[in-house]
């Protein structure tokens, strides 16, 4: 994101709303422009007094009219900052929206929708759940946990799943996301929530990160494999294809 465009587009404008779509944070300005953040793995947004010392890996500081600074800090630089200037914001947001999948907490997250999306696909269900063009917001930890809770093997091809199985995936996914949000998220390495505090859902994880530990369902050893380039944990006894 060129700093010049950032300046020209948002400097002097009033923030009127903050929304979320997929894993992106949308900060809306009164003139219609939108500042878009993705926190990646390690990104953090925080409010600081102007005089607060700059931290390592601070990438952007925005001075607000209350003399506080909104600061974006990201150790691993997997995050992103984008601006949709006012004169193109509506079109850019439409393009952005159409490139993102179903919101788990939205009205389209139904067994019928997922069955339709899966009909002509043969990818493993875990890859499907994590594909943000199909479903937004489910990362590796919650994909692993959802499939364990639903007793479905991560390698199961999506076109072989019944509507009943999709409903089970939906129910488990919503339960897990709700519990995880209530616990403040999962702090595996260095994640911090919006409050600046760590999350505690990792204490309730059943399989993620538990290679060779006993399955909470049957006591068998948890397997770890790589699927789609990502660590995949499951119980081969409790989760069937």
Partner DNA sequence: CGGCGCACCTGAGTGC
Partner DNA sequence: TGCACTCAGGTGCGCC
CA dist 221 and 199 (Å) reads 26
Q: In the 3-class helix/strand/coil scheme, how is 98-164 assigned residue by residue?
A: HCCCECCCCCCCCHHHHHHHHCCCCCEHHHHHHCCCCECCCCHHHHHHHHHHCCECCCCEHHHCCHH
Query: What is each CA distance from 116 to 23, 104, 241, in whole angstroms?
Result: 24, 16, 20
Residue with tokens 């700059």: 54
Is 124 a binding residue for DNA by CB under 7 A? The answer is yes
Evaluate whether 146 touches 176 at the Cβ level (below 8 Å): yes
Q: CB of residue 23 vs DNA: minimum separation in angstroms?
A: 4
Neighbour order of strands in the sheet with 80-84: 15-21, 24-29, 34-38, 80-84
CA dist 90 and 32 (Å) reads 8
- Applying CB under 7 A, which of residues 16, 30, 97, 122 lies at the interface with DNA? 122
Smaller CB distance to DNA: residue 132 or 167? 132
Smaller CB distance to DNA: residue 189 or 195? 189
Q: Which of 200, 110, 186 is nearest to 145 (CA)?
A: 186
Is 105 a binding residue for DNA by CB under 7 A? The answer is no
Scanning residues 220 to 239, which ones bind DNA (CB under 7 A)? 228-231
Smaller CB distance to DNA: residue 104 or 124? 124
How many residues touch DNA (CB under 7 A)?
31
Scanning residues 45 to 84, which ones bind DNA (CB under 7 A)? 56-57, 75-78
Smaller CB distance to DNA: residue 23 or 61? 23
Scanning residues 157 to 216, which ones bind DNA (CB under 7 A)? 188-189, 208
Smaller CB distance to DNA: residue 3 or 120? 120
| Options 7-15, 16-24, 63-71, 175-183: segment touching DNA (CB under 7 A) | 16-24
- Applying CB under 7 A, which of residues 89, 129, 130, 149 lies at the interface with DNA? 130
Smaller CB distance to DNA: residue 38 or 88? 38
Helix (H, G, I), strand (E, B) or coil at 219: coil
Smaller CB distance to DNA: residue 132 or 237? 132
Is 139 a binding residue for DNA by CB under 7 A? The answer is yes
Residues 6+ apart with CB under 8 A from 150: 165, 168, 169, 171, 172, 173
- Applying CB under 7 A, which of residues 23, 61, 88, 221 lies at the interface with DNA? 23
DSSP-derived secondary structure letter, 187: -
Q: Which residues bind DNA (CB under 7 A)?
A: 22-24, 38, 40-41, 56-57, 75-78, 99, 120-124, 127, 130, 132, 139-141, 188-189, 208, 228-231
């Amino acid at each position: 994101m060129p700093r010049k465009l950032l300046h020209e587009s948002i400097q002097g404008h009033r923030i009127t709303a903050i929304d979320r779509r997929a894993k992106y944070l949308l900060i809306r300005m009164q003139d219609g422009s939108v500042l878009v953040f993705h926190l990646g793995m390690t990104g953090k947004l925080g409010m600081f007094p102007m005089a607060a010392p700059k931290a390592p890996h601070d990438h952007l500081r925005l001075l607000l009219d209350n003399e506080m600074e909104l600061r974006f800090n990201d150790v691993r630089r997997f995050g992103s900052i984008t601006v949709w200037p006012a004169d193109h914001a509506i079109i850019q947001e439409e393009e952005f929206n159409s490139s993102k999948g179903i919101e788990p907490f939205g009205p389209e997250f139904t067994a019928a929708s997922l069955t339709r999306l899966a009909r002509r696909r043969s990818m493993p269900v875990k890859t499907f759940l994590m594909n943000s063009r199909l479903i937004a917001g489910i990362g590796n930890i919650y994909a692993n946990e959802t499939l364990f809770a639903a007793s479905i093997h991560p390698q199961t091809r999506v076109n072989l799943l019944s509507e009943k199985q999709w409903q089970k995936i939906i129910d488990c996914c919503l339960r897990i996301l709700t519990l995880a949000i209530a616990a403040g998220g999962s702090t595996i390495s260095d994640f911090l929530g919006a409050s600046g505090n760590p999350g505690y859902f990792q204490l309730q994880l059943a399989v993620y990160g538990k290679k060779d530990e006993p399955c909470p369902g049957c006591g068998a050893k948890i397997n770890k494999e790589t699927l789609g380039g990502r660590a995949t944990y499951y119980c081969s006894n409790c989760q069937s294809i």
